[in-house]
A = this chain, B = another copy of it.
Amino acid sequence: MSSQRLESVKNIIAIASGKGGVGKSTVAVNLALALQQLGNKVGILDADIYGPSIPTLFGLKDKQPSVDPEKKKLLPLEKFDLKIMSIGFMMRETDAVVWRGPMIHKMLQQFLEDVDWGDLDYLVIDLPPGTGDAQLSLSQLIPISGAVIVTTPQDMALADVVRGIAMFQKVGIPVAGVIENMSYFQCPHCSEKTDIFSHGGGKRKAEELKTEFLGELPLDPQTREGSDLGKPIVAENRESSQAIRFREIAEKVQSQLKVINQQKPNIQL
């Protein structure tokens, strides 16, 4: 592992999920914005090579990063004061990403070495869902400070959380905690709540696995719409209850990383 890479970045947070479709990318983007609203310099790297959604989430679908001719480095795009890089900027929507493992490894390496991130307090990495090649590659390439696992409350997603945490432990990456997304739905017509995907399983599973529970986020049509329109809820509606929830979660993530960093042995090679 080369810890020389990304030395201007203080903390690297990997946002992971055992299962796809739990809202991982939406959580990654809004968590990055929440960390920034708490006063940090933040970047986000979309490493989801199977379905990069960061360009859509920021309304940057047709944009491309430019190159600094002097440093010979890629310059991340910027929006809402975040530095943003995605594999999605490099491919067309109709490209079938049928890359084999070694190619994924190579591409991620390039994203980490050849991008001019500048000084950052946090780099949030949106991992592909699951426990495959990309996660393995990343853990070999960069010193991830902590992993945040996003799940829905339903039993099937929770089984994958167990698998996800086991994978991070195997490769020696600390788990900062678990976020339960799609916790419940509040009907906009009658205000009654329905636990469409069940409720509370994320907290239960975090306690069972002795990991921090970072918070719950309801199924929220406004958050979903903001994601599809490239207008993340935390940036567009800072006083919404969802934005407040994201800042509470961001505060917990900050505290967890402090604990993790204090526990790290201070080895000079």
- Name A residues whose Cβ lies closer than 8 Å to a Cβ of B: 18-22, 25, 50-51, 53, 56-57, 93-101, 128-133, 135-136, 152, 154-157, 159-160, 162-164, 166-167, 170, 185, 187-190, 192, 194-198, 219, 221, 224-225, 227-228
Residues of B within 8 A of A187 (CB): 187, 189-190, 192, 194
Contact B163 A51 (CB under 8 A): yes
Residues of B within 8 A of A100 (CB): 101, 133
Residues of B within 8 A of A164 (CB): 96
Contact A96 B163 (CB under 8 A): yes
Residues of B within 8 A of A101 (CB): 100-101, 133
Interface centre among A22, A98, A159 (most CB of B within 10 A): A98
Contact B228 A198 (CB under 8 A): yes
Interface of A is mostly: loop
Cα-based distance from A55 to B49 in the complex (angstroms): 28
Contact B51 A166 (CB under 8 A): no
Contact A166 B21 (CB under 8 A): no
Residue of B20, B94, B154, B170 touching A96 (CB-CB under 8 A): B170
Distance in angstroms from A155 CB to nearest chain B CB is: 4
Residues of B within 8 A of A195 (CB): 221
Residue of B whose beta carbon sits closest to that of A134:
B132
Contact B98 A132 (CB under 8 A): yes
Distance in angstroms from A111 CB to nearest chain B CB is: 18
Cα-based distance from A84 to B172 in the complex (angstroms): 36
Distance in angstroms from A232 CB to nearest chain B CB is: 13
Lowest 3 A-B CB distances belong to which pairs? A21-B21, A20-B20, A96-B167
Residues of B within 8 A of A163 (CB): 51, 93-97
Residues of B within 8 A of A133 (CB): 100-101, 132-133
Cα-based distance from A187 to B221 in the complex (angstroms): 14
| Contact status of A194 and B221, CB under 8 A, knowing A51-B130, A96-B131, A228-B154 | yes
Cα-based distance from A167 to B221 in the complex (angstroms): 31
Residues of B within 8 A of A132 (CB): 50, 97-99, 132-133
| Contact status of A96 and B56, CB under 8 A, knowing A132-B132, A221-B194 | no
